[in-house]
Structure 1
Amino acid sequence: MSHPPSLNGQVIGQAEHATRAVLDRLLAGAGVDFHDWVALNLTATADAPLGRTRLADRMAGALKIDDGIALATIDGLTDAGLLTVGAGTVALTDAGRARYADIRAALDEVTARLYGDLPAADLSTAGRVLATVTARANAELTRAA
């Protein structure tokens, strides 16, 4: 009888790389990249309108990238007609909302295939453990800076 591996960086990395490859393929078909998707998703799901700087800060924090890269992504999406920046806020355009909805629907289908038959208790435990590891890694990055 084989035993599942213990949770460690290698197992987390393998899962992240595999799921990211699936996501990247889906995004490429929609004409956006991962940074674009994060900007669209953060804009679409924000509780309140985000300013350009706040959106860039959220992207930089989530992706561990430089603010300049995040701002360039926002500018690229604005140039592509998917985002609009005005009156201090960033919003999805009609084309941006349509692109977001298409990607979200496709992603929901993939997510159902990947996670749909896993027990809710297992997903809850994994989510809790990974959130703890993420918080500790973020604290470590703060300490090292």
Structure 2
Amino acid sequence: MSATPSVNGQIIGQAHYATRAVLERLLATTGTTFHQSVALNATADHGAAKERAGLVDRMTGTLKIDAEVAETVLAELAAAGLVEEVPGDTARIALTAAGRERQEAHRAGIAEITARLYGDLPTADLAAAGRVLTEVTARANAVLAGI
């Protein structure tokens, strides 16, 4: 019988890339990139239009990308008719009907994937993993902030 490996960067990375590959397969069915899906989700949060600067900050902080890359992603979504500037308030962005439909389709697909990947795992294990990964993320962000 083999021992259960301890959590380390390699284990976390393997889980990240495996689950991201599953997600990207889902996103590919609609021609959506991972970065675009993050932007759609961030724009959909709480259903109201979002400040462009706040979306860019969220994307750069979450994805660890430059602001220029985040702006390019928002421009791609606008060109595809999935987001639009709020009329009379170019600093705010909202989902279009097509953007909302795509984001909701992704959310439904992700719910199915999540059930398959996590559904039968013990709740206590998931809670412990969540606490550990949240702390590792905070520590990594602190290291990045100090660089």
**Counterpart contact for 2:49–2:95, Cα < 8 Å:** no
- What RMSD, in angstroms, separates the aligned Cα atoms of the two structures? 1.1
Return the match for 1:108 from 108, 111, 119: 111
1:49 Cα deviation from its structure 2 partner: 3.5
Q: One-letter code of the match for 2:92?
A: T
1:37 Cα deviation from its structure 2 partner: 0.2
Please give the alpha-carbon distance, in whole angstroms, between the structure 2 residues aligned to 1:47 and 1:60.
21
Q: Flag structure 2 segments of 5+ consecutive residues without an equivalent.
A: none
Question: Within the alignment, does 1:84 sit opposite 2:87 as a pair?
Answer: no
Q: Flag structure 1 segments of 5+ consecutive residues without an equivalent.
A: none
- Runs of 4+, deviation exceeding 4 Å: none
**Pairs within 5 Å for 1:33-112:** 33-46=33-46, 49-86=49-86, 87=89, 88-112=91-115
**Pairs within 5 Å for 1:115-130:** 115-130=118-133
What are the Cα deviations for residues 55-91 of structure 1, in whole angstroms up to 9, with x where unaligned? 0111011000000000010011011000011212111
Determine helix, strand or coil for the equivalent of 1:30: coil
Please give the alpha-carbon distance, in whole angstroms, between the structure 1 residues aligned to 2:48 and 2:104.
19
TM-score, normalised via structure 1 length? 0.96
**Counterpart contact for 2:42–2:55, Cα < 8 Å:** yes
TM-score, normalised via structure 2 length? 0.94
What are the Cα deviations for residues 12-34 of structure 1, in whole angstroms up to 9, with x where unaligned? 00000100110111101121000
Determine helix, strand or coil for the equivalent of 1:118: coil
Identity score, percent: 56
Counterpart position of 1:25? 25
1:53 Cα deviation from its structure 2 partner: 1.6
**Pairs within 5 Å for 1:7-26:** 7-26=7-26
What are the Cα deviations for residues 98-133 of structure 1, in whole angstroms up to 9, with x where unaligned? 001111101110110000000110000000000000
Q: One-letter code of the match for 1:138?
A: N
